[in-house]
Amino acid sequence: MSSTTITFYGQSCFLLEYNNSKLLIDPRKKSHSQVEGDIVYATHHHPDHTAGIGTFLEINFPSAILIGNIQVIKKFSQFRDQSVTIKNGESLKKGVWDFEFISGKHGFFRGVENIGIVVKTPSFIFGHLGDSV
């Protein structure tokens, strides 16, 4: 079985590493995004969950992809060729990662589409709900 590493960068940002693949979730700061990686995911479009996305995609161009809901993808339209739009209830497989997407109500703001993620590999399951309440 491949080794798994989970690194917490603060607030809601995590880097998951499995089988030589890296997944960055909710990069709050550009400094959190200065890693080689394959996928970046944002639970919603607020800056405290997306500020590092552009840096991550530029550093890892052209192979890295952004996965997010329509509000996230619209915010980063300059990377549309590197983007996958997801919706609540969908599943997706990318490389070693299996994803399920679960909508949750954002804690403070109306109109914010907050979609949590369940990440599965053969060795672990990881859930991240963003700012859901």
pTM: 0.92
> In terms of DSSP bridges, do strands 65-68 and 39-42 run parallel, antiparallel, or are they unpaired?
parallel
More confident residue, 58 or 106: 58
Q: Residue 26: which of 127, 125, 120 has the closest Cα?
A: 127
E strand or H helix that includes residue 50: helix 47-50
Could you tell me the two tokens for 99? 């994803």
pLDDT digits (tens, 9 = 90+) for 20-31: 999 999 999 887
- Indicate the residue type of 119: V
More confident residue, 2 or 14: 14
pLDDT digits (tens, 9 = 90+) for 20-61: 999 999 999 887 788 999 999 999 898 889 999 999 999 999
Eight-class DSSP state of 48? H
CATH architecture assignment, domain 4-128:
4-Layer Sandwich (3.60)
Report pLDDT for 47.
86
Q: Residue 89, Cβ neighbours under 10 Å: how many?
A: 10
Question: In three state form, how does the secondary structure of 52-79 look?
Answer: CHHHHHHHCCCCCEEEECHHHHHHCHHH
Could you tell me the two tokens for 105? 């109500």
pLDDT digits (tens, 9 = 90+) for 8-21: 998 899 999 999 99
Q: How confident is the model at residue 132 (pLDDT cuts 50, 70, 90)?
A: confident
CB 41 within 8 A of CB 85: no
CB 53 within 8 A of CB 27: yes
